[in-house]
Amino acid sequence: MVRLVINKIKRKIRKVISQIKFLKWIDAFLRLKKIQRKFDYYSNNDIIEDNNENAYSIDVINLNATDICNSGCTMCNIWKQKKEFEFSAEELCEILKDPLFNNLKHVGVTGGEPTLRKDLPQLFEAIIKAQPNIHGLSTITNCIREKNVIERIDASIEICKKYNKGFSMMVSLDGVGEVHDKVRGTKGNFESALRVINYYKNKGVSIATGTTISKVNVWGVDDMLVFLRENQIYGRFRVAEFIKRLYNDNRNEVIRNFDKDETYHLILFFYKLILTYEKDPTFQNTYYSIINILSGGERLIGCPYHSNGVVLNSKGELAYCAPKSKIIGNAIQQKAQKIYAENLSELSYIKNNHCSSCIHDYHAQITQNEVKNRNIKSYWKEYLKIDSIIPFSKHEKVKAQKISENMQIFITGWYGTETVGDKAILAQIIAELKLEFGTKTDIIVTSLFPHITQRTIEELDLQVTVIDAYSESFVAYAKGSELVIMGGGPLMDLDELALPLIAFKLAKTSGHRNVVYGCGLGPLFIDRNIRVVKKILYLADEIKLRDNESVRLANKLLNSSKNVVMTGDPAKRFVDQYQKQKTQKQKPILSCFLRELTYEYFRDKNYDVFLEMKQNFEKGLAEFILNKAKEINAEEIRFDHMHNFVVGNDDRDFSRYFIKNYFQSSEVKVSYNNRLSTVDSIVESMQQSQHNICMRFHSVLFAETLQTSFSAIDYTSGGKIFNYLSDCDKLGCLLTVDGISKLGK
């Protein structure tokens, strides 16, 4: 009887489980469909040539109200133009009645400087009268003559209100303070621009800033972003382009003339905008496209001027686009639609010769090719997930890939988000592999952000192939490699644990070896992740960990069923070479390698309690730094950085904030390095300094290995920093967050 009841219960449980499974599959199916649908709405609207000129009509006009300017910009020559014929409001109205403009939705009134025209409001009215169904109008200004600017824009806004049309404006702002004035060649322009911005912000007018990036202001863009955030101003960023309309073909010393560091710095910056600032997917796509062009690729978005836009200058002349089109005719003398229809060979020429490399920020949908690429990436992102809805067996279709006949080694991990410490780890692992297996080995490194890892391998001159972690290549190379390595970094609570897990599974199905190489373990709080790490360890043929505590944890997870070895952090062996080879002359500098205090190590506390603690910690840390500077008679407190990428937190952002809030009245000179960090630059900085205050884990490791005088702040609450110092018997250098916070109370 009891047995019958138990069996009945068992059957019921099985039924519930199978129902849950079924629901899970339904959910999985719908999620997969959603991934596909997500990108379906993108398309690339290209013009289809038609023999009938009446077939052509456009949505948007870039209307140059004037061809003169009162600025003296370093990336433009329009201000060198002399005033010539300018259409009147009446003439403009006549031009815009042409059928080419019958579907007009938006006109951007630009220049030169449009507010130099006294009749600017009448121009706005002429546009609306000619095309009463227009949706909205906008303008852009340099705000140099702020009284005139406000007077003429106010009147233009009134016109738009009268006809119930949308209005928005953009203010050119290329940097903070002197940086802007230098770019614009106009003293005091930053302040006047700010007054105009505040005036319109207070009026509730839709206003944004536009920052044009050239060689002159490239290192000031992060300061600009901080300024915008602090002042709650919305801004957009563009890279200066050669633009026919601006007569700037000879400005090649400042336009698109970035060196390698500047280019990489901009790639990091545009990622920062996408991931933390810009919310609109259209503008995010423009930024992705800029990143791709900066990296040597092509434009990823279309352009409204391929089919929907036209440029109309103040003489009444038409062009297909501002950057590359020649003048195609005069709309005062000829029908605009006829001009547009009869010169399409010019548009084809532009598309065939310029568009793929054009970095100008005309916003549009992504190209068909990019739609395809994103769909593919989404699919592999879904496959390479811990709880993937795509069965593991799907990999069977993918062929194993070899670069050559050589032994092939596949290294995975969190590359793409690497700190300077992770760069050292990768360099050391590769050096050791080459030593063990010879130089005739092919090494593949997977990356979450291949642009970042590409830079790492160039910096360290590593002979490896970088592949996108979320791609078919991940599966193909993992299957084709004789050795698969989880290369450094911590096996911790990260969704990306799926990468080593799947790579190890693939290697096992192909009969190859797996190694956990120089990793740490933890923090691990989530049960699912603990199970995944356990699986990774079971799949490994060799386990080499970076500290004794990680070895203890691994043994616990494995019930001591496997051999786990403590080999130390590979970065330590890499930095050790510098200790032996190079010595820098010391200067009276106190260097700090800080990072923002984040919640992940304090999850036992309520978040509000954490925030209060964080504030006390920052105050206490500033106090500690100032006291230390006094103690060692430092002539300079310098903030340097182990990480420059927004994913994982750009330490330069923390320094900007920290200096602004706590070091304004410092008697000792305070500086921060806003340039890029490399293993070399960090070693040099540490060796030069009289004392180093280290917070980032690998800054502690670097400072200790280089045998410098240092203090270590354990933001890991007894985690990896404590473990490292304990292993090398340097706990005397350790400062706790609690201890520092007490100084701030």
Query: Using CB under 6 A as the criterion, which residues of the chain lie in contact with ligand SF4 when the complex forms?
Result: 303, 305-306, 321, 323-324, 350, 354-355, 358, 360, 362
Q: How many CA atoms lie within 13 A of 355 on its CB side?
A: 22
C-alpha span between 703 and 683 (Å, rounded): 8
Separation of alpha carbons 263 and 129, rounded Å: 46
Least distance CB 306 / ligand SF4 (angstroms): 6
- Per residue, the 3-state secondary structure of 404-443, as one string, reads CCCEEEEEECCCCCCCHHHHHHHHHHHHHHHHHHCCCEEE
- Taking the least distance from each CB to ligand SF4, the nearer of 229 and 244 is 244
| Burial letters 494-514, b for 16+ CB under 10 A, else e | bebbbbbbbbbbbbeeeebbb
Q: Are 257 and 374 in contact (CB under 8 A)?
A: no
Complex with ligand SF4: residue 303 or 502, whichever CB lies closer = 303
Q: Position 363: which residue type?
A: H
What's the rounded Cα separation, in Å, for the pair 346 and 327?
Answer: 10
Euclidean distance between CA atoms 468 and 461, whole angstroms: 19
Give the nearer residue to ligand SF4 in terms of CB position, either 78 or 143.
78
Place of tokens 């890499």: 574
What is the C-alpha separation between 488 and 302, in angstroms, rounded?
41
Closer by beta carbon to ligand SF4, 289 or else 644: 289
Beta carbons within 10 angstroms of residue 238's beta carbon: 16
CB of 366 to ligand SF4, least distance (A): 13
Q: Of 140 and 176, which CB lies nearer to ligand SF4 in the complex structure?
A: 140
Nearer to ligand SF4, 361 or 468 (CB): 361
H or E element in which residue 122 lies:
helix 120-130
| Closer CB to ligand SF4, 362 or 504, in the complex | 362
CA dist., res. 521 & res. 714, Å (int): 17
Q: How far is the CB of 301 from ligand SF4 (least distance, A)?
A: 8
Provide the minimum distance between the beta carbon of 46 and ligand SF4 in the complex, in angstroms, as a whole number: 11
Q: What Cα–Cα distance (Å) separates residue 496 from each residue in 382, 488, 520, 598? A: 12, 14, 15, 19
Nearer to ligand SF4, 355 or 427 (CB): 355
CB of 355 to ligand SF4, least distance (A): 3
Report the candidate in 70, 78, 114, 82 with the shortest Cα–Cα distance to residue 245.
78
Output 359 or 642, the one with its CB closest to ligand SF4: 359
Query: What's the closest the beta carbon of residue 289 comes to ligand SF4, in angstroms?
Result: 10
Minimum distance, C-beta of residue 49 to ligand SF4, in the bound complex (Å): 16
Q: Decide whether 138 or 186 has the Cβ nearer to ligand SF4.
A: 138
Nearer to ligand SF4, 47 or 558 (CB): 47
Q: What are the distances in angstroms from CA 108 to CA 6, 118, 347?
A: 76, 17, 21
Give least dist CB 311 to ligand SF4, A.
Answer: 9
For residues 255 and 240, the answer to whether their CB atoms sit within 8 Å is yes
Q: CB of residue 149 vs ligand SF4: minimum separation in angstroms?
A: 27
Tokens encoding 352: 């065939």
Residue closer to ligand SF4 (CB basis): 328 or 679: 328
State the nearest-atom distance from the C-beta of 446 to ligand SF4, in Å.
33
Cα-Cα-Cα-Cα dihedral of 94, 100, 101, 102, to 10°? Answer: 110
Whole-number minimum distance, CB 242 to ligand SF4, in Å? Answer: 10
| Cα–Cα distance, 696 to 694 (Å, whole number) | 6
Q: How far is the CB of 51 from ligand SF4 (least distance, A)?
A: 22
Question: Rounded to the nearest whole angstrom, what is the least distance from the CB of residue 332 to ligand SF4 in the complex?
Answer: 23
Q: 370 or 482: whose CB is closer to ligand SF4? A: 370
| Burial (CB count within 10 angstroms: exposed 0-12, middle 13-18, buried 19+), residue 28 | middle
State how far the Cα of 495 lies from the Cα of 493, in Å rounded to an integer: 7
